[in-house]
Amino acid sequence: MSLTIAAIREKDEGERRVALVPVVAERIKRLGASVALEAGAGLTSYFPDATYKDTSIVEDEKSLVASADIVLAVNPPSPDLVQVMKPGAILISFIYGRTHPDLVKALRDKKISCFAMEQIPRISRAQAMDALSSQATLAGYYAVLLGTVHMPKILPMMTTAVGSLRAAQVLIMGLGVAGLQALATAHRLGAVTEGYDVRPETKDEAHSLGAKFVDTGVDATGQGGYARELTDAEKAKVKSVLSDHIARADLIVTTAAVPGRRAPRLIDADQIAKMKPGSVIVDMGAEGGGNCEGTKAGETLQVGPALIIGPTNLPSYLSEQASELYSKNILNLLEQIIKDGKLTLDLTDEVIAKTLVTHDGKITNDGVRAVVEGT
């Protein structure tokens, strides 16, 4: 009997992605596994059932899941669905265990080996599996475009018969994967771009994308590459420098999101009040409570002179390519655990060990176990 790998249709409202795209389904077959898909799972990412070759299309989610050795999903599935899985089967999905304790308990009790895609370690060998990065890249691109369609002016400098329009000022706060892609996109469109990050080593990356780097004169580098807590005097200095740049910006994209945690506050109400009329903020931290004071997830609000957009699930807007990249991230993980058509979980492998959240009746991630079991 060959392994059966099944992808479910996402049930979360507003989710348009799918964990399996046709080109990956074909690659999985070459690993020696059979592939199954819940009917209509690819529709919202523009992959109709007929585009999946040699794939069983199954109407009933429970039958699909009950016969699968490996279940693929984008969002954390419901604990009820875990009850239907084969004991000892594998689940690969975003899990966010700290905020989904009931799901983690169900996975543990059913002895599921669960790979949490947000736990893929950020080491070079695992880059091709790094779903947070692949999704953040697309989100950074989209955030800028979402901002531009809400602005009363254009990004590029433009010379017309009746005079020139100045290029818009775009400020990107937080220069991770999403922030760098946002900088690149705004630069492509002809804006004057500035980047800011607490990590001064991002300066060169900003410059390489044609942006100025906002230097606050405060170095927040702490141990292990994480930012350290600033003193009150340092915080005041950072705020004063940033306020000037915020006040000059036509478009700001804030990208300081830490999955599963509260987003850090980057812009407060005072600073928003001093912005230009018609300015726009796209707050990519909205789902985590917002990088800006006043952001509401899923809403677009006029706050004094600025429009604050708090988008949720940005990658889902680019569902076709977000699904393609996510599915390929999963394929690269599958290639680590399937050899000659058989499952082989090497628990000494760093990527596998760090990504597994539950295995063989235990919660194997320390942070998640601490939250779920209090130990």
Q: Which stretch binds a copy of itself (CB under 8 A): 2-10, 88-96, 97-105, 321-329?
A: 321-329
Would you say 63 or 321 has its CB closer to a copy of itself? 321
Q: From residue 325 to residue 354, what is the string marking binding to a copy of itself with x (rule CB under 8 A)?
A: x--xx--x----------------------
Query: Cβ 162 to a copy of itself, closest distance in Å?
Result: 4
Say which of 46, 204, 226, 270 is annotated catalytic: 226
Please give the structure tokens belonging to residue 303: 């706050």
Residue-wise burial string across 134-164, b where 16 or more C-beta atoms lie within 10 A, e elsewhere: bbbbbbbbbbbebbbeebebbbeeeeeeeee
Is residue 163 part of the contact set for a copy of itself (CB under 8 A)? yes
Q: Confirm if 33 and 338 have CB atoms less than 8 A apart.
A: yes
Q: Which of 40, 156, 222, 361 binds a copy of itself (CB under 8 A)?
A: 156
Which segments of 132-274 are extended strands (E)? 158-160, 163-165, 169-173, 192-196, 212-213, 251-254
Is residue 152 part of the contact set for a copy of itself (CB under 8 A)? yes
CA dist 146 and 136 (Å) reads 15
Is residue 205 part of the contact set for a copy of itself (CB under 8 A)? no
3-state secondary structure at position 73: coil
Please give the structure tokens belonging to residue 101: 């304790």
Q: Which of 34, 93, 148, 364 binds a copy of itself (CB under 8 A)?
A: 148
Q: Up-side HSE of residue 299: CA atoms within 13 Å toward CB?
A: 9
H or E, element range at 279: strand 279-283
* Residue 130 appears among annotated catalytic residues: yes
Would you say 188 or 199 has its CB closer to a copy of itself? 188
Nearest Cα to Cα of residue 193 among 175, 174, 206, 178: 206
Is residue 302 part of the contact set for a copy of itself (CB under 8 A)? no
Burial bucket for residue 201 (CB in 10 Å: 0-12, 13-18, 19+): exposed
Is residue 165 part of the contact set for a copy of itself (CB under 8 A)? yes
Is residue 119 part of the contact set for a copy of itself (CB under 8 A)? no
* Residue 188 appears among annotated catalytic residues: no
Nearest Cα to Cα of residue 5 among 26, 39, 36: 36
Q: Which of 39, 57, 145, 343 binds a copy of itself (CB under 8 A)?
A: 145
Please give the structure tokens belonging to residue 158: 């433009």
Q: Which of 55, 113, 185, 291 binds a copy of itself (CB under 8 A)?
A: 185
Is residue 278 part of the contact set for a copy of itself (CB under 8 A)? yes
Judged by CB under 8 A, the chain residues 218 through 277 that form the site for a copy of itself are: 276-277
Find residue 308's DSSP bridge partners: 281, 301
* Residue 208 appears among annotated catalytic residues: no
Query: Cβ 221 to a copy of itself, closest distance in Å?
Result: 25
* Residue 63 appears among annotated catalytic residues: no
One DSSP character per residue, 39-72 reads TTTTGGGT--GGGSTT-EEES-HHHHHHT-SEEE
Query: Could you tell me how many residues make up the chain?
Result: 375
Judged by CB under 8 A, the chain residues 2 through 31 that form the site for a copy of itself are: 16
Query: Cβ 166 to a copy of itself, closest distance in Å?
Result: 9
The letter for the amino acid at 209 is L
Please give the structure tokens belonging to residue 181: 């892609």
Residues that bind a copy of itself (CB under 8 A): 16, 45-48, 127-130, 133-134, 137-138, 141-142, 145-146, 148-149, 151-154, 156, 158, 160-163, 165, 185, 188-190, 276-278, 317-321, 324-325, 328-329, 332
Known catalytic residues are 122, 127, 130, 133, 226
